[in-house]
Structure 1
Amino acid sequence: MKQISTREIESYLQKYIACMQAHGEELMDKPMPAADEELFALYETTGNRLKYESVYFARRKMLAVYGCLSLLEGKPEYLKKLEEVLDGICEEECWALPAHINRKEDPQWRICVDLFASETAHALSDIISGLKGRLPSALCEKVRENVFRRVLTPFMNAAAPYAKWEGGDNNWNAVCCGSIGCAAIYLMQDEPELLKPLLDRIVCSLDSYIAGFSEDGACMEGLGYFTYGMTYYTGFADMLYRYTDGAIDLMEDEKCRRIAMFQQKCYFPSGRTLSFSDGDSRDTYKMGLTCFLAMRYAGVEIPPISCAGGFDEDSCYRFMANYRDVVWTRKYLEQAEKGLLPAEEDDGAADCLVLPGAQWSICRGLSGGGMAAKGGNNGESHNHNDVGSFLYLAGDEMLLTDLGAGEYTRDYFGEKRYDILCNHSFGHSVPVIDGKGQKEGTEYACSHFEADGSGRTVISFGQAYGTERVKSLTRSLCYDPAKESLQAEDVLEDREAGENPVSMKENLVTQYKPVIVGNAIHIAGRKYGCRITVEDLEGSIGFETKKHSNHRGAEEEVYCITWEVPADKEKPGTRKCRFRVEMEEI
């Protein structure tokens, strides 16, 4: 990946700040939108999250805008508006989201330390500390009282774990503990006898977050959750390092360096991103976080500036990230000017990368696209039943897709999660066995994974289907980065070849309507397309149109292309399918 120039970063930063300033003018005379009971109750009655959350995050947008502008520029009009916003947030009935509480069973539901209560506590603490002496003392005391009552005191008074996220291995741990730790340092430095044990508890919990990454640094939840969790982990790590005068450095572990390298491995040259699990194939990165990591570790690359998220990119308007997008980026530019950045490392611009701990294989093609395949298991955080799946891109067009995250609803994180297409194996390019898909749980996994780093990947994943009738199912993929062609072979072995053999149907997923002619499948994007040729086809190829509600709640069409895989005439109890994917320019 080509390292971007400081001039590009300076231009990005100017636009970022200009966007905040434009919002500052636009929102100056507008009241905070009301987050009322009717909206709050929608999740409980319908499972819809988006309507209440759109109002909640509009309020957090005002906090981010006027918090950042007051700290960065300090204009009286910004400070005055900030007072109104801070008071409004202190008056909210509950800082947690409806999806994270249970009003029917918990009479204390108003006090719940979830992701967003924690984020709010951090933001308010950061702002009043940074603006000490410039805000009314009564307002600062009100903010302080709210942060303690709603977040710090409930957490400190609860035996560990406060909730399942404490000591967990996913983003919740990093976001909640990082936020709480920062808020505590801001507000409790005059109480060291209480602060020290709290910080020790936070550090202990965050050890489990780092342990949740694979040994090669991969975030199994998806790239977006890497960004989310690491934003708060690094925010706290930076603050703790400064508070302890360097005595505690959470970034010194070698695994943290490998984690820092994960982001750049998820980008294809075109700017498209890996969308495994609850990811996004058009993800963006946080400039502040990336600059922080690049200042710390040699070899961290900043992806193309076109992929950098602007101020409005995060619809949740997280103050931790927004403010550090400015201050950490400025610091990076200062260090670059002084020649103080770590020396660049040449990774050889590898066409193919292997993450053996995550069981991911990633290949990049000349057009800017590529191929990626995964093993893993079906009990990962933000899991999709996708063991053995792959995706294929030409240029910036994902012709065989991984849908990534769907719309977050009550069902999405409930018992009906795997009734949703993007989470079910039917929504991934993996075979259908005896008419059924893969099962959820860590035991339904890849039993063997190998990749040579030159385009060849072998995945054994019969275990993912949870049926004794299957002895083995092995997928072999061979990708040529120069030709951007993919040769695939799936081999199923029946445990007991007899009168009732195991059936197998191939299933390829695309969001472009396919055209089928004989044994050939044509998928056409805007600039690129591909031809998929099925060898030794018996019967016909068909496709079914299905609906997918994406992460923003918009409905999209998905096409699942299927054909029956015949029995191998020479090997009873075996079914074998070969197909070839070849890129075509439109």
Structure 2
Amino acid sequence: MRKFLSGIYLLLLFAGAVNAQAVAPDWGKIPAHPRLLLLKGEEESLRALVKTDASWKKVHDEIIRECDSILQKYPLKRDMIGRRLLQVSREGIRRIFFLSYAARTTGKKKYASRCEEELLAVCNFRDWNPDHFLDVAEMTLAVSIGYDWLYNDLPEKSKAVIKKAIIEKGLLPSQNSKYNGWLRGNNNWNQVCNAGITYGALAVYEEQPQVSQELLLRALTSIEKPMAEYAPAGNYKEGYSYWGYGTSFNVFFISALEKIFGTDFGLAEKPGFMESAAFYQHLISQSGLPFNYSDAGGLEGLQPAMFWFANRQKDPSLLYIEKQYLQESKFNARTNRLLPAALIWANGISADNITLPKVKTWSGKSDNQVVMMRSGWQKNQGIYVGFKGGTPSVSHGHMDAGSFVMDANGVRWSADLGMQQYNSLESAGLSIWDMSQHSERWQVFRYTNYAHSTLTVNNHLQQVKADAPLIKFSDDSLNMRAVLDLSAAYAGDLTRAQRGIAIANGQYVNVRDELQAGDSICVIRWAMLTPATVSLVDGNQAQLTSKGQKMILSVIGLPDVKLTTWRTDPPRSYDAVNPGTTLIGFEVTVPANTKLAYNVMLVPGEGITIRRSDLKSLDQW
């Protein structure tokens, strides 16, 4: 009876998991070890790749060098930072993935022996910290790859310890409702946790086939929730860093299914998912800096998942940025724990075959809309603008509606501070995951409109639940432009607020605001966060300098305006410092129910004339 009921459960679970074109898993297809990502004998293709391609040989050699460095370190210990073990789990992936890769591609026993040592060390932790389940998920994925890839070389005693840990420290906690709320989530937690637990289930399939099947089918159902968020155009609402996190693990999940079952069960065809690779590519400017809105960190460097997308779409132009990383050896092997996957997903593609992208703009409707525009793709040439709409209420959101980054000729003139490390804020007792209007999250300087290149009205915060939609967009090469409606973000102070940004003739940037005050007087602050030096301010015009270059910022339409600067010193003890940055802008007082319109021109270099035709109203854009 139990077997019969379990079979019905599996069928019902799977019925909601996949589309009509998909097929049910053929459990008989599960091969012997190794089965995750790289089947038995497939390491030969990697050996051939690094012998014939100089760029990939550099990546391979860097991984091997890091493995030699790991040999000199002590095995990992269960060291918590605040409530997280995540830094240990991530280093666990890096060490175990790198070492098992080295063992398979070089055949040298020293790497397999050290990988076994790392595996046993983490498997002897009392747990993998299920209270913060990302820690469990990443550790489970790490241990599963090591166990699977070295299965035929590990002593039976070690295998027993490792598979027991996968089951008891990974799979069983994932079935506990106390820890598995991520199953219902629609963000990176769902993607990472489902990938990690699925790797665990597939690694120990022989030990508990029925449970492993249930976990895989559960994952196929659950992971559709975050994948639905890519629709319709590929915009990943959590931004640059979390695309690199959530989407990478989503690709790990799909890649394992494809390798074992010969199908992804229709997941890659989910609306917007494949298009998200172009979204991610457009987040990087010609200067190599990311459009780092919301909780984004620094530059990620080579992104393995992009090779999976490029191969799947047969579009090598998606790898134009990755080509630069390959050529410049920006592999980040000490931090890029997923790096070996780049060689696996490269599928033999050479940097020589990666072509220049044709499209220079990106826009997409979503819960957290952004626009990216550039005058070209050549490194350190031309202008780049990333323009942020959307809402602060999404996962990892900031009060940054209307903010923008701008680069010209390899220099970032308008910037975003990005994220502050969570532990520094949690240690101060702040409840930073409450996204309500009066949450302590909005006491953090970097999270507010005060610290972004946008407007502040009456010194008020933006409205958390507001949305700033994209209402106009053009990819005209001579006048790329986009308009956002910011009115809801300033509800209660302004009755209308629209901001347009254009790259005019590929030479300069025009920021135009059209505003209307509400029923009382308003003080409007226009600000731009810049890492440049503000070297001269004269009324409505200022000169900025950086890296030997100049840019003129001028205000047109406000005759008596006077530009000024504000410091970015942290206002509270728990705020991160913001060295080398300044806010430049102006304040203007607007009577009740009064309309206001002006342009702020950002003109890099010298000898460029502003066209009067660029000063027209937004309804003519």
Give the TM-score normalised by structure 2.
Answer: 0.78
The question of whether the paired residues in 1 share the 8 Å contact of 2:467 and 2:489 is answered with: yes
Shift of the alpha carbon at 1:220?
A: 1.5
The residue identity in structure 2 corresponding to 1:145 is K
Change in Cα spacing, 1:84 to 1:296, as seen in structure 2 (3 Å) is same
Query: Are 1:351 and 2:348 counterparts?
Result: no
Separation of aligned partners in 1, 2:548 and 2:231: 36
Unpaired segments of 5 or more residues in structure 2?
A: 1-48, 427-431, 434-438, 608-621
Shift of the alpha carbon at 1:562?
A: 3.0
Query: Are 1:90 and 2:123 counterparts?
Result: yes
Separation of aligned partners in 2, 1:219 and 1:403: 19
The question of whether the paired residues in 2 share the 8 Å contact of 1:511 and 1:558 is answered with: yes
The residue identity in structure 2 corresponding to 1:176 is C
The SS at the match of 2:446 is coil
The SS at the match of 2:113 is helix
Separation of aligned partners in 2, 1:122 and 1:332: 25
Alignment of 1:24-39 (within 5 A): 24-32=67-75, 34-36=77-79
Alpha-carbon deviations, 1:11-59, whole Å to 9, x = none?
Answer: 33212221222233333243225445xxx3x626xxxx7xx86666555
Alpha-carbon deviations, 1:314-335, whole Å to 9, x = none?
Answer: 66553xx233123222x2339x
Separation of aligned partners in 2, 1:434 and 1:557: 27
The question of whether the paired residues in 2 share the 8 Å contact of 1:532 and 1:582 is answered with: yes
The question of whether the paired residues in 1 share the 8 Å contact of 2:128 and 2:139 is answered with: yes
Separation of aligned partners in 1, 2:60 and 2:598: 54
The residue identity in structure 2 corresponding to 1:298 is K
* Matched residue, 1:105: none
Separation of aligned partners in 2, 1:249 and 1:211: 13
* Matched residue, 1:43: 82
The question of whether the paired residues in 1 share the 8 Å contact of 2:471 and 2:485 is answered with: yes
Alignment of 1:489-500 (within 5 A): 489-496=512-519, 500=520
- Specify which of 300, 324, 337 is matched with residue 306 of structure 1: 324
Alignment of 1:545-584 (within 5 A): 545-547=567-569, 555-567=578-590, 573-584=594-605
* Matched residue, 1:365: 375
Separation of aligned partners in 2, 1:28 and 1:311: 23
* Matched residue, 2:421: 407
- Specify which of 322, 325, 332 is matched with residue 342 of structure 2: 325
* Matched residue, 2:553: 532
Query: Are 1:478 and 2:499 counterparts?
Result: no
Separation of aligned partners in 2, 1:268 and 1:307: 13
- Specify which of 123, 133, 136 is matched with residue 152 of structure 2: 133
| Worse-superposed segment, 510-519 or 381-390 | 510-519
The SS at the match of 2:186 is coil
The question of whether the paired residues in 2 share the 8 Å contact of 1:389 and 1:430 is answered with: yes
Shift of the alpha carbon at 1:9?
A: 10
* Matched residue, 2:61: 18
Change in Cα spacing, 1:491 to 1:281, as seen in structure 2 (3 Å) is farther
Separation of aligned partners in 1, 2:489 and 2:590: 21
The SS at the match of 2:82 is helix
The question of whether the paired residues in 2 share the 8 Å contact of 1:394 and 1:529 is answered with: no
Change in Cα spacing, 1:189 to 1:522, as seen in structure 2 (3 Å) is farther
The question of whether the paired residues in 1 share the 8 Å contact of 2:364 and 2:371 is answered with: yes
* Matched residue, 1:152: 171
Separation of aligned partners in 1, 2:124 and 2:462: 47
Alignment of 1:509-528 (within 5 A): 509-515=529-535, 516-528=537-549
Change in Cα spacing, 1:333 to 1:197, as seen in structure 2 (3 Å) is same
Shift of the alpha carbon at 1:581?
A: 1.0
Change in Cα spacing, 1:195 to 1:13, as seen in structure 2 (3 Å) is same
* Matched residue, 1:432: 456
The residue identity in structure 1 corresponding to 2:517 is D
* Matched residue, 2:113: 80
* Matched residue, 2:20: none
* Matched residue, 1:107: none
Change in Cα spacing, 1:224 to 1:368, as seen in structure 2 (3 Å) is farther
Separation of aligned partners in 1, 2:593 and 2:94: 63
Change in Cα spacing, 1:241 to 1:113, as seen in structure 2 (3 Å) is farther
- Specify which of 187, 198, 203 is matched with residue 186 of structure 1: 203
Separation of aligned partners in 2, 1:537 and 1:153: 68
Shift of the alpha carbon at 1:526?
A: 0.4
Alpha-carbon deviations, 1:282-338, whole Å to 9, x = none?
Answer: 34231x3222111111335103333359696266553xx233123222x2339x99x
The residue identity in structure 2 corresponding to 1:199 is L
Separation of aligned partners in 1, 2:262 and 2:87: 40
Query: Are 1:462 and 2:476 counterparts?
Result: no
Alpha-carbon deviations, 1:394-419, whole Å to 9, x = none?
Answer: 12221011222233325264553322
* Matched residue, 1:104: none
* Matched residue, 1:291: 307
Change in Cα spacing, 1:307 to 1:384, as seen in structure 2 (3 Å) is farther
The question of whether the paired residues in 1 share the 8 Å contact of 2:191 and 2:226 is answered with: yes
Alignment of 1:227-246 (within 5 A): 227-246=244-263
The question of whether the paired residues in 2 share the 8 Å contact of 1:439 and 1:464 is answered with: yes
The residue identity in structure 1 corresponding to 2:483 is V
Change in Cα spacing, 1:143 to 1:192, as seen in structure 2 (3 Å) is closer
The SS at the match of 1:225 is helix
Unpaired segments of 5 or more residues in structure 1?
A: 1-5, 97-110
The question of whether the paired residues in 2 share the 8 Å contact of 1:184 and 1:195 is answered with: yes
Shift of the alpha carbon at 1:576?
A: 2.8
- Specify which of 382, 389, 409 is matched with residue 375 of structure 1: 389
Q: How many residue pairs align between the two structures?
A: 533
Shift of the alpha carbon at 1:563?
A: 1.3
The question of whether the paired residues in 2 share the 8 Å contact of 1:151 and 1:180 is answered with: yes
Shift of the alpha carbon at 1:539?
A: 4.8
Change in Cα spacing, 1:21 to 1:79, as seen in structure 2 (3 Å) is same
* Matched residue, 1:195: 212
The question of whether the paired residues in 1 share the 8 Å contact of 2:287 and 2:407 is answered with: no
The SS at the match of 1:538 is coil
Query: Are 1:171 and 2:188 counterparts?
Result: yes
The question of whether the paired residues in 1 share the 8 Å contact of 2:234 and 2:272 is answered with: yes
CA-based RMSD of the aligned residues comes to 3.2
Give the TM-score normalised by structure 1.
Answer: 0.82
Separation of aligned partners in 1, 2:441 and 2:159: 43
Separation of aligned partners in 2, 1:8 and 1:506: 56
Identity score, percent? 18
- Specify which of 470, 475, 479 is matched with residue 453 of structure 1: 475
Separation of aligned partners in 2, 1:112 and 1:191: 25
Change in Cα spacing, 1:526 to 1:146, as seen in structure 2 (3 Å) is same
* Matched residue, 1:100: none
Shift of the alpha carbon at 1:512?
A: 1.8
The residue identity in structure 2 corresponding to 1:405 is M
Change in Cα spacing, 1:306 to 1:556, as seen in structure 2 (3 Å) is farther
Change in Cα spacing, 1:481 to 1:224, as seen in structure 2 (3 Å) is farther
Separation of aligned partners in 2, 1:407 and 1:352: 31
Separation of aligned partners in 2, 1:8 and 1:268: 32
Query: Are 1:274 and 2:291 counterparts?
Result: yes
Separation of aligned partners in 1, 2:355 and 2:581: 41
Separation of aligned partners in 2, 1:9 and 1:231: 27
* Matched residue, 1:99: none
